[in-house]
Amino acid sequence: MQDQYNPAEVEAQAQQYWEEHQSFNVVEDTSKEKFYCLAMFPYPSGKLHMGHVRNYTITDVIARYQRMQGKNVLHPMGWDAFGLPAENAALQRNTAPAAWTYSNTDHMRSQLKQLGFGFDWSRELTTCKPEYYKWEQWFFTRLYEKGLVYKRMATVNWDPVDHTVLANEQVIDGRGWRSGALVERKEIPQWFIKITAYAEELLADLDKLPNWPEQVKTMQRNWIGKSRGLDMHFDLASPVGEFTGFDIYTTRPDTIMGVTYVSLAAEHPIAKILAENNPALAQFIAECKVQSVAEADMATMEKRGIDTGIKALHPITGEPVSVWIANYVLMDYGSGAVMAVPAHDQRDYEFAKKYDLPISQVIAPQNGEAIDLTKAAFTEKGVLVNSGEYDGLDFNAAFDAIASTLEMANKGQVKTNYRLRDWGVSRQRYWGAPIPMFNLPDGGEIPVPAHKLPVLLPEDVVMNGVHSPIKADPEWRKAELDGQAVERETDTFDTFMESSWYYARYTCPNFEGGMLDKAAADYWLPVDQYVGGIEHAILHLLYSRFFHKLMRDEGLVSCDEPFERLLCQGMVLKDGTKMSKSKGNTVDPEELINQYGADTVRLFSMFAAPPEQSMEWSDSGVEGANRFLRRLWKAVEGHINAGTPGKLVVADLPQAQKDLRRKTHETIQKVSDDYGRRQTFNTAIAATMELLNETSKLADRANPLGLAVEREALEAAILLLAPIVPHISHSLWQALGHKSIPLNEKWPTLDESALTRSTVEVVIQVNGKLRGKLDAAIDSPKEQLEALALAQENVQKFLEGITVRKVIVVPNKLVNIVAN
Ligand code: ANZ
């Protein structure tokens, strides 16, 4: 064994061994319990950053730990390879997105290997390859046939100078990123998948996920946004075109007597008709078109509107109320119209203040306190006031009473709404999977039949930055179906499509007979442990859950949910802020590996914080991790040079050796819990470090029995650290004479009998105050404990000048001396 720790050599050796033995390749084996461990796959942006390193170290640690538990562990890796950055990079570098992407995946793969991550590379997936997206296209056509896919007009960002659609990221301060032109909203036909058909199940099944962070589930619940309310009809005082009235949706029918006006969305059909003869209205509607439609912006943006001049009739009192058009009313939620209750809704309140509309209180706090409507609306539920026959009712009673009044009058109906919208999957970009549809010459479209799939995306293209190469090339569109000329759809899929099912395809990445091989998918799924950033709490994790249910309903998988347990790792910070290129505070993992080795990087990133918390980068922390590994190396080297251990005969051990054994097994117990249940790898490392300290203090290298105790401690430490620092563990394990490697060893087992202590700590009190402690043999007789306690120097100090009246002894625990 080398006397100095040389990480480069150690790591090359271990990696070569794993490579030669294909140590991480797995196959289905029904005789073994499976464990599927997955990290969110990376976008191949160029090279790994510390966030990746942290993410993949976590899953690698868990995967190796589970393997040492005897399980059949799947830990795959691949590339989320489509997306806009490849187009931008290709433009900048005068290359094609495909070429750029593949060169990045090559580089990043070699970096991942350098870090020693135990991935089954035979299952590597690259989502921009036709073998992958072919099945996604096929699945989309199946969804179309089932009526779960439809086409409708939807709004996009339109650059009027470049004549192109822009992704949200390409709109900077309201202008196109290349042309600088003011971006407009434009309606174009786009494809949608009906995620709303699964809204209820997506919501309800969150309750089946006890091992997901509560925070993520809450975010999904809010995103789905289920609410119970009333669809309510307002008649118009006089008809507008064919409209004699309109519907609104409210979750607060209890506030109905506080309605002082109603508001329509700018796109509401009544608004459109009114605008025909009203230039001011038309102007206002046009202005609304260039504002954001993001719901988050709706709450904070300036509320603006315009009075249409027409009146609607209050459904209970019949009083006329004015009808406004307001920019904060969304066309695609509820019915695109609201009954405005400024006293109890903050948006209506701001609007009413601005346009001097009446504010009338109809809800009072339950506790009878007065409310102040000079600054803000009172939005809590309470008791009805100023509401005629409904006065005094609470929210629930008022909801029911008003609902039944309106239902009887045929003016309202209880309705459940979801905030969740259908998933728009059309993108007008090039670097994505082509949407598998044929547009017919006479309008309409049909899905590309299975035998014509995949619809291939050409990879060898020239980018001009404006038009997608497949949109720019009239030849690409041309296709033929049963002798008829048709046109290929030139839009591509949202890249969330690929990441919604990759976890399932890893179970059978090379299967050619279909999207999934049922047997393999059923064996491996669900993923037992999924790890990724909290930024994916909603979209990716919701779309994947949705896709999983779609695949289940297609008979491709059997379980209801894709991810059994979810861990969201924290951010990597430097000087208190997130490491990022734009802030210029990144640390390049590659440089660190060259300087210290991969094990140091892995150890530091696991030691700095528990996985779900953010971790602060520290150069001294990295050095500390490296120092520890060198100490570990030295400890094993010293031990080996000291001679050959004898047989470990427990009965013959002196006290110090028994203490060391106890420490070894206490550590095994704690570290196992840290890895398995708590997933706090930092405390697992700390405990193992402590074991090594104790070993250096207590080890007796002078005789074979002492060496045997030390050997047990060192072997335990090596195996306990193996998932985190697999290379050095590999070398040290073999240096200790083992033929196998830690990865194939069983996790150290706890010897309960080693835990029993022969001494206990007994507390000494004088008149109830703690004055000393002593280590006494277990079950020492009372008299002996009393004598030992009285003999302690510190105790004697407190007894000076007073007389001991009584001594109370609780065996194995306490001696209390009463004196005065
Ligand atoms: C009257 C009212 C009074 C409301 C009150 C709230 C408080 P959730 O719970 O998120 O489903 N609303 C309805 N349709 C809308 C649309 N298309 N655009 C913008 N806002 C709309 O929200 C339901 C509430 O959002 C509804 O209840 C309605 O305002 C508003 F004291 O009706 B409420």
- Both 664 and 554 in one domain: the answer is no
For residue 251, the CA-to-ligand 1 centroid distance in Å is: 6
* pLDDT tens figures, 682-716: 999 999 999 999 999 999 999 999 999 999 999 99
Cα(615) to ligand 1 centroid in Å equals 41
For residue 777, the domain's CATH number is 3.10.20.590
Cα–Cα distance for residue pair 145/340, rounded to 1 Å: 42
Ligand 1 atom at minimum distance from 340 CA: 1
**Which ligand 1 atom lies nearest to the CA of residue 331?**
17
Binding-site residue numbers are 581
Residue 288, domain extent: 227-417
How far is the centre of ligand 1, averaged over its atoms, from the C-alpha of 234 (Å)? 15
* Ligand 1 atom with least separation from CA of 253: 1
Cβ within 8 Å of residue 645, ≥6 positions away = 704, 707, 708, 710, 711
Residue from 59, 22, 49 nearest 675 by CA: 59
The confidence score (pLDDT) of residue 296 equals 47
Phi, psi of 754 (to 5 degrees): -70, -15
Specify whether 763 is located in the same domain as 742.
Answer: no
Pocket test of ligand 1: the residue of 325, 338, 361 to mutate, having most ligand atoms within 8 Å of its CB, is 338
How confident is the model at residue 291, as a pLDDT? 64
> Which CATH number goes with the domain that contains 345?
3.90.740.10
In-domain check, residue 253: yes
Percent of the chain with pLDDT over 70: 99
Atom of ligand 1 nearest to the CA of 332: 17
**Residue 177 confidence (pLDDT):** 83
Q: Is 222 exposed, middle or buried (0-12, 13-18, 19+ CB in 10 A)?
A: exposed
Residue list, annotated binding site for ATP: 581
Residue 613 belongs to some domain of the structure: no
**Ligand 1 centroid from CA 372, angstroms:** 22
From 222, 250, 402, mutation site for ligand 1 pocket: most ligand atoms within 8 A of C-beta = 250
CB 726 within 8 A of CB 14: yes
- Take atom 20 of ligand 1 and give the residue whose Cα is closest: 329
Are residues 670 and 561 part of one domain? no
Percent of the chain's residues with pLDDT above 90: 86
742 belongs to a structural domain: yes
CB 103 within 8 A of CB 86: no
Report which of 69, 21, 169, 152 is spatially closest to residue 730, judged by C-alpha positions: 21
Q: How far is the CA of 35 from the centre of ligand 1 (A)?
A: 46
| Ligand 1: residue whose CA is nearest its atom 25 | 250
Say if residue 470 is in the same domain as residue 524: no
Residue 411 CA, ligand 1 centroid: distance in Å: 18
| Pocket (CB within 6 angstroms of ligand 1) | 225, 227, 249-252, 255, 265, 329-330, 333-334, 336, 338-339, 341, 344-345, 417, 419
Atom 27 in ligand 1: which residue has the minimum CA distance? 250
When divided into structural domains, the chain yields a total of 5
Pairing state between β 804-810 and 492-493: unpaired
Ligand 1 atom nearest 363 alpha carbon: 31
* Helices 589-596 and 619-641, axial angle in degrees (round to 10): 30
Residue type, 462: V
Asked, for residue 662, whether it belongs to a domain, the answer is yes
Determine what percent of the chain falls in helix, strand and coil, rounding each to the nearest 5.
40, 20, 35
| CA–centroid distance, residue 296 to ligand 1 (Å) | 14
Q: Are residues 546 and 517 in the same domain?
A: yes
Q: Whose CA is nearest to atom 2 of ligand 1?
A: 252
Residue from 203, 251, 399, 416 to probe ligand 1 pocket by mutation (most atoms less than 8 Å from CB) = 251
β-strands 184-193, 175-176: how paired?
unpaired
Give the CATH number, domain containing residue 94: 3.40.50.620
Verify that 69 and 106 share a domain, yes or no: yes
First to last CA, the chain: 66
Q: Is residue 361 part of a domain?
A: yes
171 domain-assigned: no
How many CB atoms sit inside 10 A of residue 63's CB? 30
Q: Are residues 786 and 740 in the same domain?
A: no
- List of long-range contacts for 629-635, beta carbons under 8 Å, 24+ apart: 629/5, 629/7, 629/597, 629/599, 629/600, 629/603, 629/725, 629/728, 630/5, 631/692, 632/692, 632/717, 632/721, 632/728, 632/732, 633/4, 633/5, 633/728, 633/732, 634/5, 635/692, 635/695, 635/696, 635/714
Same domain, 86 and 35: yes
User: Per the domain annotation, does 631 fall within a domain?
Assistant: yes
Please report whether residue 303 resides in a domain.
yes
Q: What is the domain-level CATH number for residue 638?
A: 1.10.730.10
Distance 249 CA to ligand 1 centre (A): 7
Question: Which ligand 1 atom is the nearest neighbour of the CA of 417?
Answer: 11
The answer to whether residues 369 and 515 belong to one domain is: no
Q: Is 320 found in the same domain as 288? A: yes
Q: Which of 475, 492, 509 is at the close of a domain?
A: 492
Q: Which of 732, 755, 778 is the last residue of a domain?
A: 755
* Residues 567 and 660 reside in one and the same domain: no
Paired tokens of 736 = 């200790």
Within this chain, do residues 405 and 256 fall inside the same structural domain, yes or no? yes
Mutate which of 224, 252, 293 for ligand 1? The one with the most ligand atoms within 8 Å of its CB, which is: 252
pTM, whole model, 2 decimals?
0.89
Kind and range of the H or E run holding 343: none
Ligand 1 centroid from CA 195, angstroms: 22
pLDDT, mean of each 10-residue run, the chain (820 residues): 94 98 97 98 94 97 98 98 93 94 97 98 98 98 98 89 81 84 88 97 98 97 96 97 97 98 96 96 88 56 92 97 95 92 96 97 94 96 97 98 97 95 93 97 94 97 88 94 94 96 98 97 98 93 98 98 97 89 86 96 96 93 97 97 95 91 97 96 98 96 96 98 98 97 96 87 94 89 93 92 94 94
Residue at which a domain ends, from 492, 512, 530: 492
- CA–centroid distance, 677 to ligand 1, in Å, is 43
Q: Are 727 and 14 in contact (CB under 8 A)?
A: yes
